[in-house]
Every structure is written in structure tokens, then in C-alpha cells.
Structure 1
Amino acid sequence: MSSFDFSPGAQVPLAGGAGQTAPTGALASAAYRDGPVDAILGANTEWHKCAVSAPRVKLLRPDLGEAFAHAVQNRLLGGGRKPLIQSFGMEPQVVVEHCLAANSIRRARDTRLTVIMVLFGVLFLPGLLLYLGVFALRRSVADSTNKRAGLLVTPLLIALGVLGVLFLLKMPFGGFWAWYLRACVVAPPVGWWFAKRACEATARDLRERWAGLLSGGGIGAKIPEAVPRDPNQKAAEVLRQSLAKLSAEQRSNSVFYAGPKGILGLGTRWGSWQLAEELVPREPGSEIHPFRSYDVIRAIHDQLKLLARGPLHTGGFPEPDVRHWIVTPIGENADSVSRPEGTHVDDFQIRDHEVQRICNEQQFDAGDRHYLGTQFTLWDGQLVITMMTTVTVLHETLRIEVTGHALGPVHSLFMGKPSPKKITKPKAVRFWETKDHMLPLVDANEVVRLAARAPLTWYPPVLEYLGGKLSLPEPFGLRHAWAAQPWRHRFMADDALRTATPVLRVVHQAALRVLDEHGVDTTKFGARSGALSGGVQEAAPRKADVYDA
């Protein structure tokens, strides 16, 4: 059998389609970040909160990028992964691929550090343990608020240094062990120097990728392990299939309603408008021509597709994404979701015949519900406005409900670019002036932390047990987990509020046309539509999913 080959490590696009680059780059940049992992707790929202477990050994704690990249990779590509919530306005596959790339970069660094640890640390274990003890003592004193302890430890460290030099120059005994103990004093600092060079090179690479993603350019994610070179590379094939499954789930037309949390992934439901009137024949004594809910929805769908057109050449709406959604109710505190299965589902997509059946028949009692979604991705993907329309017919009453949902920008934590590490000090002579002193990207504490973690990175469960890990909120979706409210941004809030009026009018016009074609008296419908058209202009967003009863 002839083997097949691809170009190794194809460059992955930095973001998805047009208008979806900002949140994709922001979340992907988290995989390359440094800094304390606890910083991500500040990005928690009211409904979706991630958690960071306390380290049992502080020396083995992860930084933000390490914890984020491993958590996202394990959650979205792990063997026992659970269903995901769609990430609207971005491409989650690109974020996952950058997490894979960041983990590969760190794995290469950890391989070098492991070799250095073996050659300059494990082979000279007494010296390594002594230096680690001194480092732990110095670190604990630095973290302590007890100033007296700091004053006592400093002379102790100086005394240990002097004793080490004397011990190095004149041993109390000779032979092999004397030279071995001398090497135990010298080898760890030499290994630390090599480790520092390896850590600084990797830190520069990670920071360049971090800055590039937030600037809209940079280097693409290179993941050669996801490109199988022959049919026997099962791990690469499994990874490729997992990425394909992630993209298919992102395109699913099945979403979930979780009580006060609203429809997961769509953001806050801030407004709701209902038109409900009695179905009366236009001509007394005549009958209404039969029609179904889906006939009205189909007319509304076709009309909403034309929202980008207008009588004046003034810009206006971009091309909307109009789709049929099936909404499944789940518990407010549910920690997982279950996607529909069966013959009516194809690659996470509910087939058209099942969509029509749900639209026409499941309007009351238990079961899924049908909605027609009109989605606008704005502000380079930072704002996603979704207007959901549903049509129900109960007895002789037809009800058309339009609800507005707004998914805000990614939390500002993910938007910060890397800043140079420096310290500002007054000048020696002109003490009233200050001067910036550049600090190394990787300080001594960070080198020791990375070197200590490196051998354990090959056993992630042990490393997570000792150093702690990041736990993602469930049900998990990359976008809604760290989305801020759009109402703090005036222009974003204006865009969300302005969308409701034209969408509502188009929905009503299309529905009234269908009713008129089927012999329905639209007088009351028209009057109610006019009243709603005036009321929707009130700029008053509210929490429509929280029923204050």
C-alpha cells in the first residue's frame, strides 16, 4: 500500500470568516500568556464561573497560559468529552489549534529542561536539594508579611553562601566523594544558566504569538501531530477527527435553554414582543384557508433574508444569518447537555423534516421548540445580536413572538497585549527624574518553577494533583463563558436596540401577508402590530429571562 503525505504542520488560519477575528484571536492568545492563573477568575460572569484548585506544592503551580491551554485541549478534544455549547461570532477550532500549538512549544521546552535537570540536577541530587531548599526558604520569606523573619533569613543565606565557598575550596576529606560534592555545588547553577536560556527563548516565542494574535496577524498555529502521514498513525487520525467533530458541533442547529441563564451561547435575552390575536375569517360566513405554522415561518424566513436591502443607500444592516433553531430545555443548574440523536439527526444537524414537524406540532406541553433565528455578527465578532422568532397556533389564537438576545465582547482580560517587564527607579544624581530598567522576561523564580515542573509534564494527572489546575464552567462553550455585557459599551448597546424595530416590522409584515392570503381578517393583527412597532422603540433593555413573579 502506497503511503500518503501532506505538508507537515499546515499553517492554521488565525481566525474564522469575516467579522469573527477579534474574539477568536483574544481567546487564542490566552494559550500563550504568562502571569498568575488566578487572574482568570476576574473574568467570571454571573452564570458561568471557572475555578482554580489550590496547589499542594506551590513550586509546581501552572501559569495562566499553561492552565488555559491544557484545560481547553482536554475539555474539547479529550476522550470522554461532553457536548459543547456553540461559540457564536468566533471559530472555536482555531482557539483549540492554538492551544495545541502552545502545548507543543512548551513540551519542546520541557524536554530540554528535563535533560538539563537530569544532567545537572538528578546526577548531583544533594546539591539540587540544597538549592531547592534555599529557594523555597527565600520564596516563603518573600511571600510572608513578617518583616522580622526576612531580617533573620538574609544573614542566614549569606552565611550559607560563605560556607559553600569554603566547602568548595577545602574539603574535610579527599578522593572521589570530595570531587563529587564539589560538583554538587557547581553543577546546579550551571544547569540553571542553561535552563534560563531555554526558558527565555520560549518566552519570547510565546509573547510574539500572543501579541500577533491581538494585532490581527502573527504566526499561525502549527500542529503537525494533527496531520496523519500514513494510515497507521492512529493518534493523528483521532486528533483530526476530533477537530472535525468540533467544527461540526459548532454548526449544529440545536441549542439549549437553561432558565434564567437564557439560551446558552446567545447571551442575555433583553427584550420580548408578542403579537397574539384571534383567527377570524375575512368574509363573514366563510372559512379560513388551511395553513400551518411553518407556512408563516417560511414566509418570515424569506423576508428576513432581504434585511440588508433598503430604499436608501445608507449602509445599514450587513447580510444576516437566518437559520432554523431547535431549542431544548434543560435545568438551570445542569452541568451537561445532551444533543438529539437518531435518524432525524445528521452530523449534529436536525434534518429539515424534523424541524418542520417540531414547528407545526410541538407548541405546547413537553418537548423541544422551534425558533427562527436572525443573527448579526458585528464589531469584528465582539457583538452578536440574535433575534429569535417563533409562531404558535393554539385553538383560534395565532401568536408571533420575537425576542432579542445580545452576546457581548470577550472579557477585557483576554484583550491585553504583552507589556515589557521593567521597573522604574529614580536616577542617582537627578533624583527628581526616573529611569526605566528593563527586567529579564524570565526571572530566577520562574526558571526554578519551570525546571521543577518539566519532568512531571509527562504525567499530567500527577502534575495537576500537585500543582493545581483550571476547571472550566459547565455546560462549556468558549465564547459565552467569558463574554461581558454589551450594555457597558454605548455603541454596542445602540446597535442591539436598533436591530429590534426593523426585524419586528419585517416579521409582522410577512406574517400578515400570509394571513391575508389565507382569508384571515388582519384588522386586529395590524392594530396590534402598529402598537408593538411603537413600543419597541423604547430603549429599555431588561432581563427578560428572569420572571419576577
Structure 2
Amino acid sequence: MGAEVAIDGFGPGAQIPLQGGSGLTGATNALASAAYRDSPLETIQEADNEHYKTTLKKGKWEKLFRPDLGEAFSRAVQVRMLGGGRKALIQSFGAEPQPVVEHCLAATRIRRRRDVKLTLITFVCGVLFLPGLLLWLGVIHLRRTAAGSENRKTSLIGTVLLWAAALVAVLILLRLPYDGLLPNYLRAMLVAPVVGWYLASRVCLNAAVDLRERWTGLLSGGGVGAHVPESVPTDPGEKSAEELRLNLEKLSAEQQSNVVFYAGPKGILGLGTRWGSWTLAEELVPVDGLEMHDFRAWDLVRKIHDQLTLLERGSLKTGFPKPTVKHWIVSPVGEGADEVTRPEGDNVVHFQVKPHEIQRICNEQQFGAGNRHYLGVQFILWDGNVVLTMMVTVTSLHHTLRIEVTGHALGPVHGLFTTKPKAKTKEVSKTVRFWETKEIQQPLLGTDDIVRLAVRAPLTWYPPVLEFLGGKMTLPEPFGLRHVWAGPLWKNRFMADDAIRMATPVLRAVHTATIRFLDAHNVDTERFTSRSLVLGGGVQDPGPKKADVYEA
């Protein structure tokens, strides 16, 4: 058996994917926790920002079939990020998308196991006694409608209606004769749905506790793993598992792509808006008596790249983090674009533009249509909640050399994703001191919640019908897990300070490398040095601006 596994390359494998130590677990876990939440679906719109809006589509029977946040989020993320015909994704800088998707799969697996049990209970206690089930569902639906009314009389009528139905059921049980099939069936018809409700309540409660424990564990840093055995094929014939595994690998490969998209006032998608810009542009003049050595933009970019990799080395041990220095290809898209298209062809392998093509774009595509080359230095701070990126571009038009440094900032994951589960409470008046109030703890799941889950359970195997009846969530486009739910950076003093402080050493490293390079090529650097000093003085007190918005 062991030999066969070795030859075929299949086996049980590790079914609990482990997250790497990349310092991104904070933002990743916060986003993943949404898969386990039992909050109302509408709360997701609290995380919307000015550029990205989540769309909620209402169902035909929303009150009875509505999904909660975790159910809708898991379904939407899986379809968008693992679907066969999915569109291109935006990289999730500061977070890892694969663990988030795996947690969505794990949460769906927990709910499906719950739904299998609920479906069996519904069939035995409901379908076999369908008239009684419909009767109780009608009473509960009328009570829910009445309870949701602002009119106190209408709400009271709903409560009275439920008690009246219970009284009628008791009378039928006691008054009917005990002989005969029909009387006994009528008794069972009224009792079986109640027994089914009790069994269903236990199943739903166990699943709800499990989901909440995982939700809490992710936000507490407990390292909760996503148990996704269906992504590990154990046999060559398991096509669905193999397809899922390949889709997860494709997701990770796209996350590492070196192509990003500039969308006007939205900034570079995934990196945030441009908050600052510093330009060093002077004429190339040879030193008196010497001939200037020719060079291309790529030659200078390589020197700047080498200098930026040394940023962590300083005379003071201040804990300055090691930056990620990478060559980016920036492709322009419209501000209102609802999708992006990643380049394909011989010059692209696994979503990565090849080095020789990067060099060609850097040297040749500096003016007019086409993609552009940027050298990026990126800092991921606050456990993935802050992404600071400085982008450097070098252009040479006629005799003018222009080195532009721009700052981009992506704020923390919205606070909605970092809230831990809370016990359900209700504020009531005290018995004696009626002018004072107190909070009493309510059950984790109410009657309406159990009925909703039991009714949804048989339909979870065909989600389109369930979405038609209960509604669904549509993710904002162009979609990336991280940037569409990024909160404001500049309202946090320390985060804003980090962005502002980071600009000075990066700018000076770029200017130092530039002037050294020009000196080595016999270029008169007097004007470059003077301009660099002016920019160096200005960057001492930078302030965030909307540099991507040009005033006409």
C-alpha cells in the first residue's frame, strides 16, 4: 500500500493547512473570522468605504430563508475566488487569501454536517407529518410578522396567537379518541414537529458554539486551523478534490503576481491611494571637460534597488523593519472598471512578467500608451493591518532625467472584522425598582433562528435556489480580500506617523543612489544635489494629500 501511494503521488496528506510566519496573521485571521460569524448579513455594509460597496440582494421569502453573515460571506468568497469562470483578482497585500478561502470552506463544511442532520430530522419529524409542520410554520411566520411590527397591539396579537395554537394542540391531543389510525396520526402530526424542533435546536446549538469558538480563536491569535480534507485528493479519481487543490494553488500564484492596476482616484488597487509625491527632475549635463557615459533607465533602477535593500541597516538599532523591494508592472484601468485583465503571452509565466520584459518596459514605455514600470519598497506593519508602499519610477525624456517617489498607504482591516462574539442580552426593567434597568442574557439561538436553519437545510445542496429564496451578497469589484474592506489609516495617530516617517529614509536612499550613479557616469550633479536637499527639507514635515486627485 505504501509503495502505491509513493508511485501515484496521492495520500491523505496534511489536511490542516498551516499559515506561514509572514507576519500577516492579524489581518488574515480578521477576514477569515467573517466565515464563522452569525451576525445579521446587513452588518457587512458597515465595513464599506467610499470606493467599494457591498451589494445585498433580497430574496423572495427573506424572513424565512435569509442567510447570516457567515453563510453569505463564505458562499460569496468561494464563488468569486474558486469559481471555474472567475475573473482576475486583486492581490491582498497585508493578508494571505488562501487561508481565508480555506476557512470559508471549513465553515461551509461545518454547516453542511449540521444541515445533513437537520434534513434528516426535518424528513422524519416534518415531511412525514407535513400538515402539522405547515401549521406550525404558519403560526411562527405570523408571530414573527406581528413581533416585527412597531404597533404594540399587533405584537401582542402575535404572542396570543402562538399561545392559542399551543392550547388548541393540547385540546386536540386530549379530546381525540385513542383508537384508529387517523386520530393517532393527528396527534403525531402536532407532536412530531415539536420533537423535531427540540432535536434541531440541539444540533443548531452545537454547531453555533463550534463556529463561535473558531471565531474567537482566530481573533485571539490561537492559530485555529482550517480543516479542509476535500482539498487533499487521496485517489487519482477524485476530480473535485484535485480541481479544488489546483484552484487554491492558482489563487496563491495570482497573489504573487508582479502586475498591479492603477484606477485613477482609487489609486493602485490593493496598495491604496497615493498620499504623497516627490519629484527630482533635472537636465543631464556632463561635467566640464568630461564626456558623459550613456546609460538607460534600467541601469539606474538597479542601483536604486540595491540601495533600498539596505534600508534596514542603520547606525541606530531602532527595529526598522526589513522592506520588500520588488519590480512592479503597473497597468492603467478606468476608475469605474468592474474587472481587470491580467496580461498573458510568452512574456508571462504564472502571473509573473518575465525579467527581460520588465527591463524592456522600464527602458522603452515611459511615454504614451502602455504599461509602466515602478520599483516598489513595501513595509507591512501592525500584523498586516497597515501596508505602506513607496513607488519609484525613472523616466528619461530628451535630456531630462526624472525620478519620482510616491507614497501609497492601505489602512487596517475594518473594525467589524476584529470584533469578538458577544453574548446576546436584552435590557429589561427591574421588578421592584422599575425605573432602573438590567441586562439579562438570552439564548444563543431563538426559535426563529432554529426554524430558519431547519428550513434552509434541505436546500443548501443547491445554493442558487436558496439564494433566490433568501437573498445573497455580491462582492465589490474589482475584488481583492484586503483593499475592499480597508479602514481609514489617517485617523490612527501611530499608523499615520509610521507612514509619514517611512517616507524620509526611502526618499533619501533613492536620491543617494541616484547621485552616486550619476557621478559615476560623469554627470554634473550640482542641480540634482540642490533639488535633493530641497526635497529632503520638505519631506521632514510631510502631510497626507489626495495626490491621485488632480484639480482641473
> Which among 49, 55, 73 is matched to residue 45 of structure 1?
49
Question: Which stretch shifts more, 216-225 or 486-495?
Answer: 216-225
Higher mean alpha-carbon deviation, 216-225 vs 116-125, is at: 216-225
Residues 1:10 and 2:12 aligned together: no
Residue of structure 2 in register with 1:397 after alignment: 400
Matches within 5 A, 1:378-457: 378-425=381-428, 428=431, 436-457=439-460
- TM-score, length of structure 2 as denominator length: 0.96
8 Å contact kept, 2:144–2:158: no
> Does 2:238 align with 1:224?
no
Give CA deviations for 1:227-252 in whole Å, capped at 9, x if unaligned.
00011111111000000000000000
The answer for the alignment partner of 1:277 in structure 2 is 282
Gaps in structure 2 of 5+ consecutive residues: none
In the alignment, which residue of structure 2 is the partner of 1:310? Answer: 314
Quote how far apart the aligned CAs of 1:93 are.
0.4
Out of 327, 332, 338, the position equivalent to 1:329 is 332
Structure 2 counterpart SS, 1:79:
coil
Q: How far apart are 1:163 and its partner, in Å?
A: 2.0
1:113 equivalent in alignment to 2:118: yes
Residue of structure 2 equivalent to 1:548: 551
In structure 1, C-alpha distance between the alignment counterparts of 2:311 and 2:288, rounded to whole Å: 33
Matched, 1:293 2:297: yes
> Does structure 2 conserve the Cα–Cα contact (< 8 Å) formed by 1:199 and 1:447?
yes
CA deviations 1:130-150 (Å, max 9, x no partner) are 000001000001111122322
1:338 to 2:335 alignment: no
What do residues 486-545 of structure 1 show as CA deviations (whole Å, max 9, x unaligned)?
101000000000111110011011011111111111111111111111111223101111
Secondary structure of the 1:323 match is strand
Kept after mapping to 2: 8 A contact 1:16/1:24 = no
Aligned to 1:458: 461
Counterpart for residue 21 of structure 1: 25
Q: CA deviation at 1:157?
A: 3.4
Is residue 133–residue 189 contact of structure 2 (8 Å, CA) maintained in 1?
yes
- Aligned mates of 2:380, 2:157 — CA distance in 1: 60
For the aligned residues, what is the CA RMSD?
1.7
Letter in 1 for 2:323: P
Code of the residue aligned with 1:335 in structure 2: it is D
Deviation at 1:169, TM superposition (A): 1.7
Q: Percent identity?
A: 63
The alignment covers a number of residue pairs equal to 546
Contact in 2 for aligned 1:387/1:405 (Cα 8 Å)? yes
Residue 511 of structure 2 is aligned to residue 508 of structure 1: yes
Q: Is the 8 A contact 2:10 2:236 kept in 1?
A: no
Does residue 94 of the first structure (1) align with residue 99 of the second (2)?
Answer: yes
1:437: Cα distance to partner?
3.5
1:151 aligns with 2:156: yes
Partners of 1:270 and 1:106 in 2: how far apart? 43
Q: CA offsets, 1:195-251, max 9 Å, x none?
A: 000000000100000000001114310000000001111111100000000000000
CA distance in 1, matches of 2:106, 2:161: 44
Matched with 1:166 is 171
SS at match of 1:271: strand
**In the alignment, which of 131, 135, 139 is matched to residue 134 of structure 1?**
139
Q: Deviations over 1:41-65 (max 9, x none)?
A: 0110111111111121121010000
2:526 aligned residue? 523
Q: CA deviation at 1:176?
A: 1.4
Q: What is aligned with 1:211? A: 216
Equivalent position of 2:202 in the other structure: 197
190, 193, 202: which one aligns with 1:188: 193
Instruction: State the Cα deviation string for residues 279-337 of structure 1 (Å, max 9, x = none).
Output: 111125x432110000110000000000001112333x211000000000011111111
Letter in 2 for 1:187: A
SS, match of residue 336 in structure 1: coil
Distance 2:523 2:203 in 1: 77
Q: What is the 5 A alignment of 1:65-76?
A: 65-76=70-81
